[in-house]
Amino acid sequence: MPQLLDNLNPEQLAAVTLAPQHALILAGAGSGKTRVLTTRIAWLIQNGYCSPQGILAVTFTNKAAKEMLTRLSAMFPINTRGMWIGTFHGLCNRFLRAHHRDAGLPQLFQILDSGDQLASIKRLLKALNIDDEKFPPRELQHFINAQKEAGLRPAAVEAWDDYTRRRVELYTEYEAQCQREAVVDFPELLLRSYELLERNEPIRRHYQARFRHILVDEFQDTNRLQYKWLSLLADGGREGGASLFCVGDDDQSIYRFRGAEIGNMRDFERDFRVESVIRLEQNYRSHGNILDAANALIGHNTKRLGKSLWTDRGAGEPIRVYEAFTDSDEARWIVEEIQSLVRDGACRSDIALLYRSNAQSRVLEHQLFSSGVAYRVYGGLRFFERQEVKHALAYLRLIANPDDDTAFTRVVNFPTRGIGARSLEALQDAARTWNTPLYQTVPHLAGKPGAALGQFVALIERLRVETRDLPLHETVDHVIEMSGLRGHYQLEKEGQERLENLDELINAAANFSAEVGAGQAPGEAPSEPGSVLAEFLAHASLEAGDHQADAGSDAVQLMTVHAAKGLEFDVVFLSGLEEELFPHGNSTAEADGLEEERRLMYVAVTRARQRLYLSFTQSRMLHGQVRYNLRSRFLEEIPEPLTKWLTPPNPRRSYVSEPSPRYYNSGAGKPAAPSMPPPPPLRSRDLGGLAIGQAVNHPRFGDGVIIAAEGSGSDARVQVKFAEAGSKWLMLAVAKLTPAS
């Protein structure tokens, strides 16, 4: 017993030894919440408050559940196999297996993962002859899951328009199909468990009497149905019910897009009349400067339950801030800094590169690969391996080489264009007969298959003609648009990330063109568009090759901030701290969206143990064009004494309308400098012989007039007002502008 409670701080000890009652434990980042949960279970059993079978512990990952069981086994000799410790889905599966007849399920029912569920919905739409463009399968999947997570069967869903009523009908048909096939999806596991407990009093009373102590990890990530399920097992907080011990951190609630409801924490306090709220604020992970920055950031959020992290590890190093000119410069600086850290003895695996959006990984990966630094993308695919990127590259490969059968089969029916498996089988049989590539075999097919495949071939031929004289990045942009890829992902509920990756592919093409141009000898004729495309495709294949480090090897870790939650590293680089990127541009249009972005920033900052780098750029490639952003407001929310600027701060790039004097003062008592005058207008030679007001021609957009310009040399860009395409900013280094005749 003394050993069990050794080395607990006063707050941890208070939480572990709390008399059986409802309790909310606000556990800050790095405060030892897993240890508290595990020790609490052991303490309850050792002190006779319940048997191991009287414990129900809910985690959000199988990894966390296994870790908890391992720690319990090490604390004292008990058989943990019979204990109910696991994820919501795992525990509900166990419950339904035991009561399958009462739940209306066969004993050997199968579980559909997300991919299987999507395939099942596609089969349903095909069987009912439903247009999958009007009712996209993935969107319908999100609709069905959202209703289930809200605890709603089809009959309870409110539908005020014809489209929603039709979706509800499809929801009904989907349920009937799952019942026929004896399968359940993930949301169904929880919903059916809840419904069975609610309507079957004997079963409900049995489990209410059995589980005397219910412990929940990551309580801030629970959705409404999960909260109702827990409440039902705890008898709604009535006297004699189980004690509900919830551990969470409202400041780390970052999964609203998955249905997480931060309001559950406040509802729990009210519904269960919680008297014990214990705050775990001592952090065992990070140095003081990092925690002070995190506290200052999250302090700008409202409706917090209140918590302030501290440590006895000392202040540590200041937070380093770097301003780069471009995203390529930012990536180059990060990699050089990593190489310096490794030379000084740091392990690559203790270094993490975090970013807000997956699309940002491309430029970082390119620089790491080019510099020979081993890396791994954690919790996701490398850029050129992502589905949407591979689809776009497949179209480009067909333009460059129509005999590429692999590329042909990948996109011949993506986005869907009515080409089924039988048509492809007929084509493949004909290709073997004629000994020709699939593309060349299409004219030999007759009937419906030949007509459908002929339309696809016509599309590729049209794309080849339309992009013949376009710069590489405009070729990529045009193909993404005209192939239907952009439109397809715009219809997806969670297609924003895929669209960002497609935009980043355009950026990659623009950067590649610039690099190819810079590498040419003086007087050398520029490469033909076709050869540049072939070189770019080869470059993409090489970077998509087997260059990623093996699991367990010493490699730099790349990941989104969402994927980093629960992890920690000695050194953290957080890139792209610009308005519209972090915080994300969509957040300002959503209720509480900015506060969730700030919680995400809080999570990012608290991943660092010893050293934290924050970086941003003056300009960043987006959709093949240079965009100029202000630095993130989150940088302004970090107190000045905690930071060390590695570059002189530029007041003109600040988010705040009146920047802090620290960005102006060059000496004590010196007044702030006046704002800088605008740069002089560019001379004709700065624009490659062109001038503002001059009429020009573009291969794709046609005739237009230059109305503005900025930058110089390779960074020069102009704004052109086109007759049909409207106003566009174009980089002179890659745009083929010629004086209009």
User: Measured between alpha carbons, how far is 612 from 392 in angstroms, rounded to an integer?
Assistant: 36
CA-based nearest residue to 80, from 120, 133, 42: 42
426 φ/ψ angles, rounded to the nearest 5 degrees = -65, -40
Radius of gyration of the chain, Cα coordinates, nearest whole angstrom:
29
Other CB atoms within a 10 A radius of the CB of residue 539 amount to 17
Give me the helices (H) in 17-113, please: 33-46, 62-75, 88-98
Cα dihedral sign for 64, 65, 71, 75?
positive
Query: What tokens appear for 586 in the block?
Result: 């969509």
Query: What tokens appear for 44 in the block?
Result: 């309850």
User: Measured between alpha carbons, how far is 281 from 283 in angstroms, rounded to an integer?
Assistant: 6
Q: 576: left (phi > 0), else alpha (psi -120 to 50), else beta?
A: left
User: Measured between alpha carbons, how far is 680 from 694 in angstroms, rounded to an integer?
Assistant: 18
CA-based nearest residue to 366, from 323, 327, 321: 327
Query: What tokens appear for 176 in the block?
Result: 């009937």
User: Measured between alpha carbons, how far is 342 from 338 in angstroms, rounded to an integer?
Assistant: 6
Between CA 467 and CA 410, with CA 484 as vertex, the angle to 5 degrees is 90
Query: What tokens appear for 210 in the block?
Result: 């059995």
Can you tell me whether residue 127 is helix, strand or coil? Answer: helix
717 φ/ψ angles, rounded to the nearest 5 degrees = -145, 155
**Is 738 a residue of the active site?**
no
One-letter identity of residue 508:
A
Query: What tokens appear for 547 in the block?
Result: 């260059």
Catalytic residue among 362, 607, 609, 700: 607
User: Measured between alpha carbons, how far is 671 from 659 in angstroms, rounded to an integer?
Assistant: 13
Catalytic residue among 149, 185, 217, 365: 217
Secondary structure element (H or E) that encloses residue 324, with its range: strand 319-324
Catalytic residue among 11, 33, 410, 633: 33
Catalytic residue among 39, 141, 208, 252: 252
Catalytic residue among 11, 185, 188, 218: 218
Instruction: Write the DSSP string, 250-274.
Output: GGG---GGGT--THHHHHHHHHTT-
Provide the CA 294 distance to its chain's centre, in angstroms.
21
Beta bridge partners of 87: 59
Q: 15 Cβ partners below 8 Å, 6+ apart?
A: 23, 25, 36, 40, 278, 280
User: Measured between alpha carbons, how far is 270 from 263 in angstroms, rounded to an integer?
Assistant: 11
- Burial letters for 618-648: b for 16+ Cβ neighbours within 10 Å, e otherwise? bbbbbbbbbeebbbbbbbbbbeeebbebeee
End-to-end Cα, the chain, rounded Å: 91
Beta bridge partners of 569: 608
**Is 33 a residue of the active site?**
yes
Beta bridge partners of 110: 183
**Is 217 a residue of the active site?**
yes
CB pairs under 8 A, 24+ apart, for 376-381?
Answer: 376/548, 376/549, 376/551, 376/553, 376/555, 376/556, 376/557, 376/558, 377/548, 377/558, 377/559, 378/557, 378/558, 378/559, 378/563, 378/564, 378/567, 379/559, 379/560, 379/563, 380/559, 380/560, 380/563
**Is 607 a residue of the active site?**
yes
Give me the helices (H) in 544-693, please: 561-564, 593-605, 633-636
- Burial letters for 714-724: b for 16+ Cβ neighbours within 10 Å, e otherwise? eebbbbbebee
User: Measured between alpha carbons, how far is 239 from 12 in angstroms, rounded to an integer?
Assistant: 26
Catalytic residue among 17, 34, 694, 719: 34
Cite the active site residues: 33-34, 217-218, 252, 607
